[in-house]
A and B are shown apart, each in its own frame.
Chain A
Amino acid sequence: MTGEAAPPLATSREGGRLTVALAGDWRVDAVGRHAPALAAVAPGGARAVEFDLRGLGALDTAGAWLIHRAAARLREAGCRVRIVRAAPDHAALIDLVGRNDRTRAPRPARPGPIVAIVARTGAATIEIGLIAARMIAFLGLATIAALRVLGHPRRMRWIALVSHMERAGLDALPIVGLISLLIGLVLAYQGAEHLQRFGAQVFVVNLVGISVLREIGILLTAIVVAGRSGSAFTAAIGSMKVREEIDAMRTLGLDPIEVLVLPRVIALVLTLPLLTFLADMLGLVGGGLMVWAELDITPDQYIERLGEAIPIWSFWVGMIKAPIFAFLIAMVGCFEGLAVAGSAESVGRHTTKAVVEAIFLVIVVDAALSVLFSYLGI
């Protein structure tokens, strides 16, 4: 740091001339302090202003910009402004900054808040329509690819299929099993506590059996799989999209739907029912353990009671939903992956969307199926 002795800015008047002497370092870390003093310099009747840069130490673009801005302001106020005794480097830098001054050409004005809200609402509405159209188109493309592969089974990517089955199915066994066991325990415990008041504790078995088999087993499994595998599908396909791998596939005559989407969808449709079966069984085991501990219903009695109270259809109602939900989760995951555009941030945004949309669709379809089953009297 040089020139600490002299004040960074000193003004003196002589007749109609104002001299502004700058000293010390005018760099980005100091200009915040110097800026107000320079901005306060007023012509005060002076016709000519001189910036004397003899004592200037280090100068960078931030300092040069401040000097340039002050000079431009005084020029606009009608003064003749000269920059004198500047080192060649400093003069060149002020000149460089001056040439890049864009304050005269302001950035295009942004629309007002009300216009912005209307525009955003309109854009979002159009976007929803476009997404619906694209989803239907995607469903069509996937169907065509599936039929083509069905005609030529050799085109199926068996290795990819098995690998996705392992990752989406086998690797999910521990987490799905543990959650189902715990939910079975909790359900039986809560049920026992309330039904005991009416002396109806035996019906805990009905409660656990019906709710686990019909709804909880499949819903829990679908939600865990949507979070685990649906998001993984989107992230994997999305990253490939960002790195132009999908485009490369197309130019090599490979159909991305056939190569990437079909194995994932089929893998999930095959494994989700198996995961659901595991969830059902462990949910029942959890309930059984709890009624054994709380109500002294032995495992033998529990199984017998389950057999009497629960129609076999309850089990099938849960299982039938599994491939439908698997199809939804995998299709949404792949669709969002292919919708990724441009940046790494887009991958994250679409991954979130995939999980939310998949869970939403699963629950909506579950509700619709409940209505259907009640019409059918199942």
Chain B
Amino acid sequence: MAKSGNRADERAPVIRVRGLVNRFGAQVVHDGLDLDVWAGEVLGVVGGSGSGKSVLLRTIVGLNRPAAGTIEVMGHDIPRAGAAERRAIERRWGVLFQDGALFSSLTVAQNVMVPLREHARVGAELAEELDAIKIAMVGLPPEAADKYPSELSGGMRKRAGLARALALDPEILFLDEPTAGLDPVGAAAFDDLIGELQRRLRLTVFMVTHDLDSLWAICDRIAVLADKKLLVVGPMETILDFDHPWVRAYFHGPRGRAAQRS
């Protein structure tokens, strides 16, 4: 796993954002943001509340139309893609929303089945087996498969959401605060899970997070959003040396030091 950013010359990035501008009314969230994500890396995106981390994720996956700028995912221009092109790209990525965003009228097993049913031509029996594998892979007990999302704890909902995101073996996994709301033990287990799945399935992971432990544990590179732009991106060592008040407060504050020690 390359930890440096010098692969830029070797090949095109999986996600390429150039000159992104996002505006909600008079409020400017992003103003000329550039970002590259390379194949097979885990990129952690951090920033203060309201710095537009989630908006960036939503814009990349096409849920939010940018005011200006280009976004390319695997060579496709997302905001300008047609319906067929969108469908083709969408099955190559998986998104885990903050609270799992499971469909509340379906059981966990049916939730994981949705992408298999919609996009893959596999028989019912095989689909059910793959469904069970994905549910086992994210560490959910077998009896969780027939439960409804409202009957699960927050951590289990996230695991179920991850199973749905992984249903089609995507190339890119988008995670929106995967460990938020989990207890520290559960969060560490979730980090390990994402790390292992990422290595085994050779995923590219784009992770919005607040969790310093996650950043240390599984991220190859870290991108810091501040002042409506990408402030700095690089491996942890680069970020630790970076001189900016917010970055210093975040990574060298008491929590940052604690995470560093562990």
Contact = CB atoms under 8 A, between A and B. Distances in A.
A34 to B, nearest CB: 10
B137 A343 contact: no
Contacts of A197: none
A344 B105 CA distance: 9
Interface in A55-113: 60-62, 65-66, 69, 89, 92-93, 96-97, 100-103, 105, 107-108
A28 interface: yes
A89 B202 contact: yes
B81 interface: no
Contacts of B104: 342-346
Contacts, number: 82
B97 interface: no
Interface string A23-36: 00001110110010
Interface residues of B, number: 32
Contacts of A346: 104, 150
Contacts of B130: 28, 61-62, 65
Interface string A14-49: 000000000000011101100100000000000000
A76 to B, nearest CB: 16
A144 interface: no
Contact of B142 (A29, A102, A341, A342): A102
B150 A61 contact: no
Nearest to B167: A28
B67 interface: no
Contacts of B150: 341-343, 346
Contacts of B151: 342
Interface of B: 104-105, 116, 119-123, 126, 129-130, 132-134, 136-137, 142-143, 145-146, 148-151, 166, 168-169, 196, 199-202
24 contacts: A27-B169, A28-B116, A28-B120, A28-B122, A29-B121, A31-B122, A35-B123, A35-B126, A65-B130, A69-B129, A92-B199, A93-B200, A96-B137, A100-B133, A100-B136, A102-B136, A107-B143, A107-B146, A108-B143, A342-B104, A342-B148, A343-B104, A343-B105, A343-B149
The 4 lowest CB-CB distance pairs between A and B, nearest first, are: A342-B150, A343-B104, A100-B136, A60-B169
